[in-house]
Amino acid sequence: MSLEPGRPRPEPTPETRHFWDGAREGKLLLQRCKDTGKAYFPPRPFSPYTGSRNVEVFEASGRATLHSYVIHHRPVPGFKPPYAIAVVELEEGPRMMTNIVDCPQTPEALVLDMKLEVAFTKMDDEITLPLFRPAKGA
């Protein structure tokens, strides 16, 4: 799948660069608080649970479930309405906003808690977006 031109482009910062570098290489990188063992997102070089800087980057499984979404019916540059703006819950716990691809953008097809898997989609040479699609065999 390829992206329509005009989609807003994220600009990595020093604290998020590893996430976007990982996505470009096909890896969904999260961070974990080493004191509590809990994963978190979005990226930051310290634990939102304890305030400790004792954290590490790790590769997530890419498996998720559909937590909630809207289906937008109005035109937006870079998108063909109707399109779903979704929030998925990763297997490791954190949630992230994304789009669901390889799936009709309808309430009938987009069922809450359905199993999903990450579908990395190239935007340009630097940015690859972690989109999600229905999990194979689900």
Partner 1 sequence: MTIKPGEIAIVGAAESTRIGTVPDMSQIMLHADAALNAMADAGLKPSDIDGFACVGPMMPQQLVHYLGITPKWVDGTGVGGCSFMLHVRHAAAAIHAGYCSTVLITHGESGKSRINATPRPPEPQSLQGQFEMPFGPMGPPTLFPIPVLRYMKTYNVTHEHLAQVAVVQREWAAKNPRAAFRDPITIEDVLNSRMIAYPFRLLQCCLVTDGGGALILTSADRAKDFPQKPVYILGSGESAEATMVSQMQDFTSSRAFRVAGPEAFRMAGIKHGDVDHLMIYDAFAHLPLYGLEDLGFVERGAAKDFIWEGHTRPGGKLPLNTNGGGLSYTHTGMYGMFALQESVRQVRGIAPAQVPGVEISVCHGVGGMFSASGTVVLSNQRP
Q: Which is nearer to partner 1, 74 or 137 (CB)?
A: 74
Q: Which is nearer to partner 1, 104 or 137 (CB)?
A: 104
Which positions touch partner 1 (CB under 8 A)?
Answer: 7-13, 16, 20, 41-42, 67-74, 76, 78-79, 82-83, 85-87, 95-99, 107, 112, 123, 129
Q: Which is nearer to partner 1, 33 or 69 (CB)?
A: 69
**Least distance from C-beta 101 to partner 1, angstroms?**
11
**Least distance from C-beta 56 to partner 1, angstroms?**
20
CB 23 within 8 A of CB 41: no
End-to-end CA distance of the chain: 20
SS3 30: strand
DSSP string, 80-127: -SSEEEEEEEETTS-EEEE-B-SS-SSTTT--TT-EEEEEEEE-SSS-
